[in-house]
A and B are shown apart, each in its own frame.
Chain A
């Protein structure tokens, strides 16, 4: 009976501890949901919080042309300042600010015909929620009377905003929606500044085709919409360049064990590995390819290698691995490179961009989310200048004529769909523990190491 008495206390304490853990975990893990609900309830309050930062500040700072502006062009957008895209949202916001600053202060405003306009950004926080997006975009159009729109971050949110822009016939520029499917809906007013998903591995395939026309490629990718689109794009490019695709395999979401897949690919004689999906599976795929002694000349994986954790986990196995990036610090796009291609340069140079970003963000360094955002406004500004009008139909038509180079790369859209066709993904390769941009040549800072010696000669 004594023992029974003791166990009663033990039980009570154990339940208390478990209760505390559960409580703590619930408290830690649910703020996202809670916030969403409160926001939906206090819709009106949150929505009326229109913030127009930077813009007023810019006006007071602009001393060169105090009276030169014929008016203001309002660009509306939502930014994810809370929720799962809060990190990306912050970069995007700073990216927008840099573009506005450059246009108003350095470029001296957007020239529309013989008039010069100041640019101002109007935005709301969409809290990373696709449910919030349509309502906020309607508000931007009907109440704030913005002239043009920028899409929110991510393909999911862009899909939510696109119908609103389309219904109201207002041009919307996508800076964070890479999905090709956005541009297969027949939208007439949506254009893309970043490279679409289907082109993610194209540059890697091009690089390999230049170095090794006999490469035997294994395409191993996550069985999910984004990775499958990337893989299809890679497959098309592999065929176009005449490389051999000896093995193709989609794997399940969340897969961590690749023993049979890698063995099958080795049995098929593949010496180049392309694919990936998210961070976890991409890292595991490369890790096991290494541990299984797969002799690879080239490895091109989406998403995972871009993160510093990839290098931390894989150490020497990270070297030689390539990944595609929309933009990376150190890209060498320049007015000279534009001249060589016979196209116009627009916007700040890369050095100026990084400097301006530092000023705007209070000492920060831009990443590709910021660069995409800046490039989207530059892209739009150029189209407005080419159109010589603030009419959305005229500007959309002008987008088809715009073929420029910026610090972000070349920008040109497909006239029919608005899909980005000028911009090229840069290829970054881990070389001796450091990221080096290796392709395309006009952006490269180092030459690619192919075959990857640590992988091939072991």
Chain B
């Protein structure tokens, strides 16, 4: 086996895995705290990509500004989604039953269809992106691999964001309240935590981060089509299950693991048949999902129930 090819794929897998892990942070929060399975994950990610694209192509704003606006739009979207879709279903209830879970699942499913078709209607199926834009140099060479600086920018932003979210949940009162509701909503309300406030905050944070990750997905992929939603949504679920429900660090680690497994299996399968290496490598992620569900259903960083 050619060592350089192995290095290239491992580095690329790692870089992609960080993005993947960050994209799943919002999902793991919503799922962990509110038992809301965000079936619109892929479409919410795309929201961030398209906000940045519109600002770049229509208004000529730097993608960096676009990324920031994407985050703000995401926070507002989280606010709207909570009041429009989730509050009535989960806001006032103390214990989230299976029935409620199914209702939120359907609500998010409806949102995913509405958003996806909205994207097709407004942006078409053509790829859109930042063209030849890059921050400073277009590429740098690391470990025998040439990497687009846009990818490094995306990874840096993702790592910083994960760190900020982790510190927020770990160190601030609000963050601790979120974790308290995640562990036991009833007990949390007994000690004076307003569950509605926490659920609203979680949705705003969860959707906001997911939309923000769309900006990084765009930087990584160079261009997006509405189809991308179908690539990132299933992988986000794998990452959440592997990392453990509600665990931000788990999400990042799981993303990196999936990315590296993907890169590695691509190299291995290529040795036998390059024509099928991509699809087989992608399916290994789901084989991992099955194995995790069978042998460690709580995930790497999840709590045993």
Chains A and B come from one and the same complex = yes
Q: Considering the complex, which residues of chain B in the window 97-128 have a beta carbon less than 8 Å from any beta carbon of chain A?
A: 110-111, 113-114, 117-118, 120-121, 126-127
Asked if A393 lies at the interface with its beta carbon under 8 angstroms from chain B, I say: no
Given the interface pairs A260-B12, A267-B4, the reply to whether A29 lies near B117 with Cβ below 8 Å is: yes
Q: Are B148 and A288 in contact (CB under 8 A)?
A: yes
- CB contacts (< 8 Å) of A449 on chain B: these are none
Least distance between A182 CB and chain B CB atoms (Å): 23
Question: How many angstroms between the C-alpha atoms of A284 and B224 in the bound complex?
Answer: 10
What residues of A have a CB within 8 angstroms of the CB of B2 in the complex?
267
B223 interface residue per 8 A CB criterion: yes
CB-CB < 8 A to B129: which residues of A? 313
Q: Is A315 an interface residue (CB 8 A)?
A: yes
* Cβ contacts under 8 Å, A283 to chain B: 127, 223
- Kindly state the separation between the CA atoms of A375 and B147 in the bound complex, as whole angstroms: 47
A10 to B227 alpha-carbon distance, docked (Å): 30
Which of these binds chain A: B22-30, B83-91, B234-242?
A: B83-91
Contact indicator per residue, chain B 213-227, by CB within 8 Å of chain A (1) or not (0)? 000000011111101
Of the listed stretches B60-68, B130-138, B178-186, B293-301, chain A binds B130-138
Contact A10:B84 (CB < 8 A) given known A256-B224, A280-B126, A292-B139: yes
Do the beta carbons of B221 and A257 come within 8 Å of each other? yes
| Interface: A22 (CB within 8 A) | yes
Q: Is there a chain A Cβ closer than 8 Å to B284's Cβ?
A: no
Which residues of the other chain, A, contact B80 by a CB distance below 8 angstroms?
14
List A residues 280-309 near B (Cβ within 8 Å): 280, 283-284, 287-288, 290-294, 309
Q: Does A336 contact B (CB under 8 A)?
A: no
B270: nearest chain-A partner, CB-CB:
A249
Bound Cα distance A14, B16 (Å): 35
Contact of B117 (CB < 8 Å), options: A25, A260, A316: A25
A280 to chain B, nearest CB (A): 4
Q: Are B146 and A292 in contact (CB under 8 A)?
A: yes
Judge if A85 is at the interface, Cβ distance under 8 Å: no
In the assembled complex, A264 has its CB within 8 A of some CB on chain B: yes
**How far apart are the CA atoms of A367 and B43 in the complex, in Å?**
37
Tell me whether chain A's interface is mostly helix, strand or loop, or mixed. Answer: helix
Q: A167 to B150: give the CA distance in the assembly, Å.
A: 58
Chain B residues in 8 Å Cβ range of A260? 8-9, 12, 263, 266
In angstroms, how far is the closest chain B Cβ from the Cβ of A178?
22
Q: Which residues of chain A come closer than 8 Å to B4, judged between CB atoms? A: 267
B5 at the A interface (CB under 8 A): yes
**Cα of A259 to Cα of B10 in the assembled complex, Å:** 11
Please report whether the interface of chain B is mostly helix, strand, loop or mixed according to DSSP: helix
Partner of A24, one of B12, B121, B127, B222: B121
Residues of A within 8 A of B120 (CB): 25, 29
CB-CB under 8 A from A10, the residues of chain B are 83-84
Tell me the smallest distance from the CB of A313 to a CB of chain B, in Å.
5
B16, B88, B114: the one contacting A22 at CB < 8 Å is B114
Q: Which residues of chain A from 1 to 43 have any CB-CB distance to chain B below 8 Å in the complex?
A: 4, 7-8, 10-11, 13-15, 18, 21-22, 24-26, 28-29
Complex Cα–Cα for A223 and B278 (A): 10
Q: Which residues 229-274 of B have a CB within 8 angstroms of A?
A: 263, 266, 274
| Bound CA span A283–B224, Å | 12
Interface membership of A314, Cβ < 8 A: yes
**Residues of A with C-beta under 8 A to B275:** 223, 250
Closest A residue by C-beta to B133? A291
Q: Which residue of B lies closest to A317 (CB)?
A: B132
Provide the residues of chain A in CB contact with B20, threshold 8 Å. none
B145–A263 touching, CB < 8 Å: yes
CB pair A22–B278 under 8 Å, yes or no, is: no
B184 to chain A, nearest CB (A): 24
Question: Provided the pairs A25-B118, A249-B274, A287-B222 are in contact, do residues A259 and B127 lie with their beta carbons within 8 angstroms?
Answer: no
Cα(A218)–Cα(B92), bound, Å: 61
**Residues from chain B with Cβ under 8 Å of A294 in the complex:** 146
Given A7-B87, A10-B84, A248-B274, A315 contacting B220 (CB threshold 8 A) = no
A260 CB, min distance to chain B CBs, angstroms: 4
Contact of A14 among B8, B85, B118, B227 (CB under 8 A): B85
Question: Judging by beta carbons under 8 Å apart, are A280 and B85 in contact?
Answer: no
Which A residues are CB-close (under 8 A) to B70?
none
Question: A14-B84, A260-B9 given as contacts; is B148 within 8 A of A291 (CB)?
Answer: yes
Q: How far is the CA of A40 from the CA of B227 in the complex (A)?
A: 30
Complex: A78 Cα to B261 Cα, angstroms: 51
B45 interface residue (CB < 8 Å to A): no
Q: Does A226 contact B (CB under 8 A)?
A: no
Q: Please tell me if the beta carbons of A25 and B87 are within 8 angstroms of each other in the complex.
A: no
Q: Hey, what's the 0/1 contact readout for A251-270 against B, CB within 8 Å counting as 1?
A: 11011110110111011000
Query: Closest CB of chain A to B18's CB: distance in Å?
Result: 13
Interchain CB contact under 8 A, B148 and A259 = yes
Q: A7-B87, A7-B88 are in contact. Are A267 and B8 (CB under 8 A)?
A: yes
> What residues of A have a CB within 8 angstroms of the CB of B223 in the complex?
256, 280, 283-284, 287
A residues less than 8 Å from B221 (CB atoms) = 256-257
**B222–A263 touching, CB < 8 Å:** no
A262 to chain B, nearest CB (A): 8
Selected contact of B121 from candidates A28, A255, A259, A291, CB within 8 Å: A28
Closest 9 CB pairs of A and B: A14-B84, A25-B117, A280-B127, A252-B278, A263-B8, A260-B12, A291-B138, A256-B221, A18-B114
A10-B83, A291-B132, A316-B132 are known; give 4 further A-B pairs, CB within 8 A. Answer: A256-B127, A256-B223, A259-B151, A315-B132
Contacts from A to B (Cβ < 8 Å)? 4, 7-8, 10-11, 13-15, 18, 21-22, 24-26, 28-29, 223, 248-252, 254-257, 259-260, 262-264, 266-267, 279-280, 283-284, 287-288, 290-294, 309, 313-317
List 19 A-B pairs, Cβ < 8 Å: A7-B88, A21-B114, A22-B113, A24-B121, A29-B121, A251-B278, A254-B227, A256-B127, A256-B225, A259-B151, A260-B12, A260-B263, A262-B146, A263-B145, A264-B8, A267-B8, A315-B131, A315-B132, A317-B132
